[in-house]
Structure 1
Amino acid sequence: MSLDKVLSISGKPGLYELKAQTRGGFVAESLDTGKKLSVSVRHNVSMLSEIAIYTYTEEVPLGEVFQKIAEKEDHKESSVSHKESKAKLEAYFQEILPEFDEDRVYTSDIKKVIQWYNILIKAGKTDFTTEKEEETVSE
């Protein structure tokens, strides 16, 4: 499963996999608990494939950041918890993405990235590409 089907829903903890669309929204399944949830169009929903991290030169897609963490951690859970101190989180993220824009990437963003990465790894999701990237590779 690529990041195109993984969602973050505001007000709901964790990550969700898009399962089906309905008239008034869609059905999503929690990657943590496996529980299904009906989500209306009124919820603020973000697809992980659409999220990027600011650097001084460009925006790096979240999938690439996850891939860099996976390479550093040998495709295991992050060695740093999302509950660590600000200094420790920033130092870790500096190793992953040295050129990240410290003025526009907040500690809360770093916490989410690490937390989401760990959720995906626990759920057995190690494919951090998007469908667009897969099409380019297969051409």
Structure 2
Amino acid sequence: MSHCLVIDDSKLIRTIHCRMLAQLGLTVSEAENGEDALGVCSGRMPDLILVDWNMPVMDGFTFLKTLRAMPAGSAPKVVLCTIESDLEHISRALAEGADEYIMKPFDVEILATKLIAAGIALSPRPQRPDPLADGR
């Protein structure tokens, strides 16, 4: 995996998610909504897509259905991001073609776990230095 597309109508959320994905060794691009994201996918199909559920213009479900109908649209791994926690929404996401879902808010460790569960290989991250390792 090398290229990830982050789709969210919030610039702040896109920035946070892009930083996390960059920490995990991925190259990242972004789109403000599903319609803009389809344009990105038409130009260069990403390996991974992190898409918000609720967005104006085109929501995550409509994007996902449209993506999966595109030539090569079955190739990217898609992780649907949501604040919805009920089983019906999660089941619908998976039925529509999402490979995984993730509950907002999340941190980089949770994101890494979800990406690995979706079958996405991540670059090893540098280990944090152990402040107690030098014996102080």
TM-score by length of 2: 0.28
TM-score by length of 1: 0.28
